[in-house]
Structure 1
Amino acid sequence: MSEFRRLLEPIAGRIQMMLGRGTIGTVDDAPQAQEMQVELLADEAQDAIERFQGYGFTSVPHPGAEAIVAFVGGLRSRGIVVQVEDRRYRMKAMQPGEVAIFDDLGQAVHLKRDGIRIESDFKVDIDAPEVNVTADSVTIESGDIGLGGAGGAPVARVGDDVDLATGKIISGSDVVRAE
C-alpha cells in the first residue's frame, strides 16, 4: 500500500493546489485579457495572472479585493483568476432573485422584485440616435428641464395661463424650456 501512496502523492499535491484564494495587489487593464498580481499563500505572489470575465461585463477591482484563482493542471505557474469579490462595496439586503451591478461610489443598476432602480450621485448620460419610452405614466422631478438642448423659450404646462391670441405664457413656471 505504501508504494501505491508514493505513486499518488505527486498527483494528490497537484489536485490540492488547483484552486487558491488570494488578495489582489495590482491590476493591468491594458492587455487583451486583464492581468492581476495576486497574493496567495504566505509569501506567494503571482504576477500577470489573466482574469477571465463574463462576456459583456468587465470591471477593474481595487487592490485588496479577494480572488479565486484556478491553476491549470495544479501548476502554480499557470493561474487564471475566475472570480473577484470585494466585500467592502457589495450591495446588501437584496431579495432572493434580485440582480445588481454596482461600484465603489454607490452607483447601481438594481433589478428589484418590483422594478428597476438606477442610482447615482453623478451625471447619467444616454447617448443614442433614438430613445423610445413606452409607459402608462412618466414622472420627472427636476428643478430644471431643458427640451432640445440648452436654453430656449418657456413651455406651457397643463394648468398654466396662456394668451391664446399671442401664445405667450402668462403665468406658470420657467422650469421647462424648449429650443
Structure 2
Amino acid sequence: MSNDFLRRMDTKIARALSRVRLGFRAVLTALDTSPSVQLLQADGLSGEQLQAAEVFQHFGFTSAPPAGTQCIVLPLGGKSSHGVIVATEHGSYRVAALKSGEVCVYNQSGAKITLKEDKLVTVECKRLVFDVEDDIDMKAKRIRAVASEWMGLYAPEWEMGGDEDGGECEGVWRGNQHITGTSRADVDHVSGGVSLVHHVHRENDGGGPTDPPKRK
C-alpha cells in the first residue's frame, strides 16, 4: 500500500471527523424547568448557541442551575443541535472546603447539607422545616439542637422517656419554665426538696403536724 494512498485515506478520515462535533463547553443563559426533562439555552465557547438542549441528571437528584453555570455538552450523533447537557458547575457557589471523600448538597442561597468524615452530617440553613406524613425515627447516641433566638415544637400529644417501652430516665431543665396548663406527676413532685406527697407542716395554731396530703 503506497504512502500516497495512505495520505489520501488520512485526509478523507480527517475531513469526515471535522464534520462530527465533539463534546464542548457552554455557559447557561436560560433554563426551563417545566418539562419532564429540563431544557436550557446556552452559549458555546466557540460561538455556538444552544436552544432547548436537554439537561440530564442522575435519578433521585434534580437541581436548577442558575445563569452563568458552565455546562459540558455532548452532541448526539456529532451534531450540536442534538446536544445534551451531561454536567454543570458554577464556581461562584461550589463548596470548596471539603476533605477527600466528603459530600455536600448546596444551593445558590448558601444552604448546605454536608456529609463529613467520621459520619458527621451538618445542616446549614436559615429555616429548617420537616413535612412528614408518618413517623420520624431519630436513633442516635447524642442529639443536640441549638437555636440562638427561638425554638417551637408543636403536637397535640407529647411523650418523652428513656425508651419506647416506658423505661425510666432523668430529664434536666435549665432555666425558668412557664406552664400555661395543668402540671401532673403520677408519683410525686418535689420542689426545693419538699415533697408534695409526703409534705407535712405544723398547724397554724401551733398544734401537731398535719397529715400528709391525701390523693383524690
TM-score by length of 2: 0.66
Per the alignment, residue 6 of structure 1 pairs with 11
Per the alignment, residue 89 of structure 2 pairs with 85
Pair 120,7 (structure 1): closer, same or farther in 2 beyond 3 Å: same
Distance 1:12 1:134 in 2: 58
Per the alignment, residue 158 of structure 1 pairs with 172
Per the alignment, residue 122 of structure 2 pairs with 117
Pair 77,144 (structure 1): closer, same or farther in 2 beyond 3 Å: closer
Per the alignment, residue 132 of structure 2 pairs with 127
Between 136-145 and 71-80, the greater mean CA deviation after superposition: 136-145
SS of alignment partner, residue 37 of structure 1: strand
Matched, 1:29 2:33: yes
Question: Structure 1 runs of 4+ off > 4 angstroms?
Answer: 159-165, 167-171
Note if contact 1:24-1:38 (Cα within 8 Å) is conserved in structure 2. Answer: yes
Residue number among 47, 54, 61 corresponding to 1:57 in the alignment: 61
TM-align CA RMSD: 3.1
Deviations 1:70-109 (A, max 9, x none): 0012112210000010111000110000011100111111
Distance 1:164 1:57 in 2: 49
Matched, 1:74 2:78: yes
Pair 164,52 (structure 1): closer, same or farther in 2 beyond 3 Å: closer
Note if contact 1:163-1:169 (Cα within 8 Å) is conserved in structure 2. Answer: no
SS of alignment partner, residue 77 of structure 1: helix
Pair 73,111 (structure 1): closer, same or farther in 2 beyond 3 Å: same
What stretches of structure 2 of length at least 5 have no aligned partner?
159-170, 178-182, 193-216
Residue 51 of structure 2 aligns with an amino acid whose one-letter code is: D
1:53 deviates by 0.5
Pair 50,169 (structure 1): closer, same or farther in 2 beyond 3 Å: farther
Q: Which has the greater radius of gyration?
A: 2
What stretches of structure 1 of length at least 5 have no aligned partner?
172-179
Distance 2:26 2:93 in 1: 18
**Between structures 1 and 2, the one with greater strand share:** 1
Distance 2:184 2:55 in 1: 65
1:18 deviates by 1.6
Deviations 1:22-46 (A, max 9, x none): 1001001111111010100443211
1:170 deviates by 6.9
Pair 109,170 (structure 1): closer, same or farther in 2 beyond 3 Å: same
How many pairs were matched up? 166
Note if contact 2:27-2:45 (Cα within 8 Å) is conserved in structure 1. Answer: no
Percent of pairs identical after alignment?
25
Matched, 1:146 2:160: no
Distance 1:159 1:62 in 2: 46
Distance 1:117 1:66 in 2: 27
